[in-house]
Structure 1
Amino acid sequence: MLLFSGLGLFSYFLIANYTDFSPKTAEAFYSWGAVVFTILAFNLVGYSTLRLSEWVNRQYVINTFRKWKLVMVYMSVIFLFLMLNYGVFVTAKILANVEPIFNFSRSGWNLLIVVWMAEMVVIGLLLSNRTLQANWLLQQEAAKLQMENSRAKYTALQNQLNPHFLFNSLNTLIAEIKYNPDNAVCFTQNLSSVYRYVLQCQDRNLIPLKEELDFMNSYLFLHKVRLGDCISYDCRIPPEYMERQIPPLTLQLLVENVIKHNSISPDKPMTIHIEIDNEYLVVSNPVSPKKKKDSSSGIGLKNLSNRCRLMSNKNIVIQKEDSVFTVKIPIIQ
């Protein structure tokens, strides 16, 4: 507020002292009303410029804001300040009832341009400083989230390769080899696909939705063989969304949560619903809690939210109801 008030007073007194006003115009220009009007006008335009600058910084980071749009935005700000100074002159003439209202002498125009250029230097330095600060904060946040993203992916890899998962998979495979050799081949192929996918996506921050769904098919197949044919999913995603992207292993985490926290059996089958709603991937399941609840720290969903915020500047949405648990994941074009 002090900066824009000072800038307004600087412009006001410079114009007042170096412009040859008629006595009637000078009387109106030197009034308290003119001073207050100038301060309010400069604060209004100044704060609007700051808000606009913040919006531009966000858009530039998120959407790689087109250069011509960026130029148009700042050209509008420059023109707005020129019109503001011109408005101070015009207002003084209106208050003094002096004609012609919109015409000025050559010296008046020269002074107007000088004042305007001085203001542009100050505003340019201010916006540059704020942009540098915003970029520094974004870099710090990005570095922090990148670290969390790497940690989350490493945790997902550990979860897939942990002894418990491998032990269950190998036990299931042994049983299938003995009782259902044909299915054992399919089980081995899907187990191989799961491990291959997990290893391949370690160096990727985003993955097409189609690849993630293919992975989930293999991952769910392993659980269906182990649990029985009592878990399935209903996918209703339009074809045009298949190339949209999400963080890798997103569906693995959500499916794992469903299996971990719900009682699933032939008497209590589980269907996971997957759809698109307002640029979010929506994954929901009916709630069928186990009698003995597994301990949960919620770190998996927290890491997923951090990864989504890093990639899209949006958090995931978690909705808990009595009968349905829903997680909404922002998708990226």
Structure 2
Amino acid sequence: MSFLTSRNLRLRLLGPIGLFAFGLIFFKLRMYLELSPRDFLWSMLIGLFCGYIGWELARWVVRFIQKLYPGLPNTRRRLGRLLFVIILLANFNTFLRSGVNQLLNPGLWLYDLYDYFETVGIQVVYVCVYVSIYEGSYLIQQWKQTYQEKEQLMRAEWQARFDSLKSQVNPHFLFNALNALSSLIEESPQLAGRFVDELSKVYRYLLYANDRELTTLETELRFIESYVHLLQTRHGKGIQVHLSVPPEYLHYTLPPLTLQLLVENAVKHNIVRTSQPLTIDISTAFTQPTEVQLWVRNNLQRKTKAVVSNGVGLNNIAAKYRMLTQSDIIIREEADHFTVVLPLLSHLN
């Protein structure tokens, strides 16, 4: 990019002026005040001229070293070479200023060893400012780029994991449903036919949900009613599900099939009998001005025989929430109740 079209044009134009004013006030004020107006004007012009040359030279050298040793991994090597460059540029600027002074205004400045070291010290400060500006902005740019790349990779990784989790749900549900259907065919062919009808409705929702990361609570509740009806086809009054969700919360969202997994988890681990019904309550709680929670609570009546679990249920839900919101679900197990608390998300666009 050319000088005129450079984004940092203002910095390159005003930077040397600002540094010259800084050096005049803090380093050479008394000496400049002792000069005649003519000599002061000459010294100011020469100082600005050398300042612009020093700024552009430092800028070019820093950019060159950044091309030789690019990126954050080479920061240490780059800084080591820039420290050496600072000393060289400080001496170059000192000799440049001395040479131009002697050429344009001979006799005004007479340098001895003390003046040389003093001027080099001042130039070291100037060059450190030049280098800090361009190397600092380069480091910030590289850090932002690295952060964005890592964020994109992380999003891609989370998306892959999320898709993997979604792909586990359909085969898992179908496996359990077919086992239930197999039992019903022997017990009651009529109930088995009804079960197949309800299963087709439920599976249509599974196909719909498989392509979505979020669904509305209203849609999920309609599905869970069909799913519970399917369960009641097999268990009768042994399972009861009570829904208590105000209409104003129906537009909130959650990962699809969340309620199905929770209901299935409750059925899997608890006794379900007409004489000992499993009761599941699904309700909402308003905790903060912008936070609504969904509570899924069932009475706890563990099966005496250990249940083999493949870890899809609660682990699947917890993983989905961590991927989508970086928040965790709350699981509470009391003496007679088991509760899962889920944060409801903002409505879909």
TM over 0.5: yes
Note the C-alpha offset of 1:120: 7.0
Pick closer, same or farther for the CA change 1:318–1:139 going to 2, 3 Å. farther
| Root mean square deviation of aligned Cα | 3.2
Note the C-alpha offset of 1:188: 4.0
Note the C-alpha offset of 1:177: 4.9
Q: Give the total of aligned pairs.
A: 226
Pick closer, same or farther for the CA change 1:229–1:217 going to 2, 3 Å. same
CA contact 1:284–1:324 (8 Å) conserved in 2: yes
CA contact 2:245–2:283 (8 Å) conserved in 1: yes
Cα distance between partner residues in 2 of 1:132 and 1:165: 49
Pick closer, same or farther for the CA change 1:299–1:171 going to 2, 3 Å. closer
CA contact 2:168–2:312 (8 Å) conserved in 1: no
Note the C-alpha offset of 1:193: 0.8
Please say which structure displays the higher CA radius of gyration. Answer: 2
2:213 to 196, 205, 208: 205
After superposition, the C-alpha distances for 1:126-157 in whole angstroms (9 at most, x for unaligned) are: 44433333333322322222222122211110
Pick closer, same or farther for the CA change 1:215–1:291 going to 2, 3 Å. same
Corresponding residue of 2:341: 328
Note the C-alpha offset of 1:261: 0.7
1:131 to 134, 144, 158: 144
Pick closer, same or farther for the CA change 1:325–1:126 going to 2, 3 Å. farther
1:160 to 170, 173, 189: 173
1:230 to 224, 238, 253: 238
Corresponding residue of 1:149: 162
1:289 lines up with 2:293 in the alignment? no
Quick one: which amino acid aligns to residue 329 of structure 1? L
Cα distance between partner residues in 1 of 2:140 and 2:297: 44
After superposition, the C-alpha distances for 1:42-84 in whole angstroms (9 at most, x for unaligned) are: xxxxxxxxxxxxxxxxxxxxxxxxxxxxxxxxxxxxxxxxxxx
Q: State, as a whole percentage, how many aligned pairs show the same letter.
A: 31
> Structure 1 unaligned runs (5+)?
1-12, 24-114
Corresponding residue of 1:267: 275
Quick one: which amino acid aligns to residue 315 of structure 2? K
Quick one: which amino acid aligns to residue 330 of structure 2? V
Q: TM-score, normalised by structure 1?
A: 0.59
Pick closer, same or farther for the CA change 1:123–1:244 going to 2, 3 Å. farther
CA contact 1:212–1:251 (8 Å) conserved in 2: yes
Note the C-alpha offset of 1:307: 1.6
> Structure 2 unaligned runs (5+)?
1-18, 31-127, 286-290
- Higher relative contact order structure (alpha carbons within 8 Å, sequence separation ≥ 6): 1
3-state SS of paired residue (2:274)? coil
Note the C-alpha offset of 1:299: 4.1
Cα distance between partner residues in 2 of 1:209 and 1:116: 58
Cα distance between partner residues in 1 of 2:189 and 2:256: 31
